[in-house]
Amino acid sequence: METDQKAGSVLGGTLLVAGSCIGAGMLALPVITGIGGFLPSIGMFLIAWLFMTSTGFLLLEANLAIGHDLSLISIAEKTLGKTGKFLCWVLFLFLFYSLSIAYISASGSIVSSILDDFAGIAIASWVGSVLFTVIFGIFLCVGTRSVDYLNRLLMLGLIVAYLLLVFLGSFHINPENLALHHWKYAFAALPVLIISFGFHNMIPSIAMYLKGDIGRLRIVVLFGSVLPLLVYLIWEVVMLGIIPLEGRGGLMQALDQGEAATEALRSVVGRSWINLVAQLFALFAIVTSFLAQSLSLVDFLGDGLKIPKIRWGRVSLVFLTLLPPFTFAYLYPGIFLQALNMAGGFSAVILFGIFPVLMVWTLRYKRKLPMSRVLPIGRIGLTLIMVVAVGIFFLELAQELGFSLVPANVEVVL
């Protein structure tokens, strides 16, 4: 009984899952879904949530079947062999670097906007990215404890800014904006929506945290994914209700220029309290996500390259973590949305979509292990999830090859 009491809390696990989803990706969601309209965007959110929650359950099943104290790399190796382990490494690096590129790219315009609006200091976006990368790179060099304390403060700011933004924004919603719909363009948002529900890297951690308790882990994954869904839908109502689809500062312009939603909001509302709160929310969202991903990448590279994470070893790891994505963000400004698309449509959909299906299929039907089914579906269900995952992969591949689902001009439909 004493062991059970020390096996972590459902609330704590739920917040870990939800917190790993909610972050800087929110800045892209209204822009990437706005082209389809509010009602179609709800449909895409539900599809992405159902898909990612299902694959989260599958990954949890594979995790529990072979031991709840293993990392994702180890799970891949024990189920998919050395090839699976190698691909997991490569995809993890691609995912981490893609997200870092997106965050550093978005940080430039956010920092420059804040300095311009509230201090009257005009700087180029790339200078804003330099300041952002250097300042928060120092925290990464100092160590995990400094990042932890800073992240707690920023998370509090993120929550307060989100609640204020929803409250203030509710007075500016135009119902006509929410009535627009273009179902045929809605599916283009799926890759970014996938990464917005990407909590799967937390599965091994919460499995260890709750000592492999399958009942409580099911609750944690379910409610931990539902919470971001509710946060996102409220966010969509406010942002799509305020920002028009077309015109100066509209969602189409933001999509074309690869800008965050808060930049489009700034163009619409100008200098105001809602703009102040929006810019602070954007900064908090970017920094918290950036710190979490960068810290994970520092640890990942340190373990993989066998570099000690102390003194100059840690400094070199931080340089390896930040220099490549900063270089890409500098050379390709406006890459924020594209980087998120690639992270979701390629890395996340394979790591968190295709891999869990293959893992469970291997354990259930090839090795025939006696295991509890976290997700009670059979071969047909697994095949359907695989088809959806492959479809999202080729959707992103087509868009990267120039076959965009989003036209240059959209006919307004009510």
- Distance between CA 40 and CA 99 in Å, rounded? 26
Of the listed ranges 96-100, 149-153, 304-308, 398-402, the one predicted with least confidence: 304-308
Flag whether pLDDT at 287 surpasses 50: yes
Question: What CATH number does the domain containing 352 carry?
Answer: 1.20.1740.10
Q: Per-residue pLDDT tens for 45-104?
A: 999 999 999 999 999 999 998 876 677 888 888 999 999 989 998 998 898 888 888 889
Of the listed ranges 283-287, 391-395, 408-412, the one predicted with least confidence: 408-412
- Distance between CA 404 and CA 406 in Å, rounded? 5
What is the mean predicted confidence (pLDDT) over 98-117?
85
Between residues 157 and 304, the one the model is more confident about: 157
Beta strands in 343-408 (DSSP E): none
Establish if 140 belongs to a structural domain.
yes
Q: Per-residue pLDDT tens for 198-211?
A: 888 888 888 888 88
Q: Tokens representing 98?
A: 């893609």
Flag whether pLDDT at 179 surpasses 90: no
Establish if 266 belongs to a structural domain.
yes
DSSP states of 106-124 as a string?
A: HHHHHHHHHHHHHH-----
Flag whether pLDDT at 30 surpasses 80: yes
Establish if 381 belongs to a structural domain.
yes
% pLDDT > 90, the chain: 27
Q: Please, which pLDDT band fits residue 3 given cuts at 50, 70 and 90?
A: very low
Q: What is the pLDDT of residue 404?
A: 67
Establish if 350 belongs to a structural domain.
yes
- Distance between CA 399 and CA 341 in Å, rounded? 9
**How many distinct structural domains can be found in the chain?**
1
Beta bridge partners of 37: 181
Q: What is the pLDDT of residue 68?
A: 67
> Is the pTM for the entire model greater than 0.75?
yes
Q: What is the pLDDT of residue 2?
A: 39
Flag whether pLDDT at 171 surpasses 80: yes
Establish if 109 belongs to a structural domain.
yes
DSSP H helices in 120-213 = 125-142, 144-169, 175-179, 183-186, 190-196, 203-209
Flag whether pLDDT at 7 surpasses 80: no
Establish if 414 belongs to a structural domain.
no
Q: What is the pLDDT of residue 170?
A: 87
Max Cα separation, the chain? 66
Q: Are 63 and 207 in contact (CB under 8 A)?
A: yes
Establish if 406 belongs to a structural domain.
no
Establish if 261 belongs to a structural domain.
yes
Q: Which of 197, 203, 221, 169 has its CA nearest to residue 44?
A: 197
Range of the domain at 51: 7-400
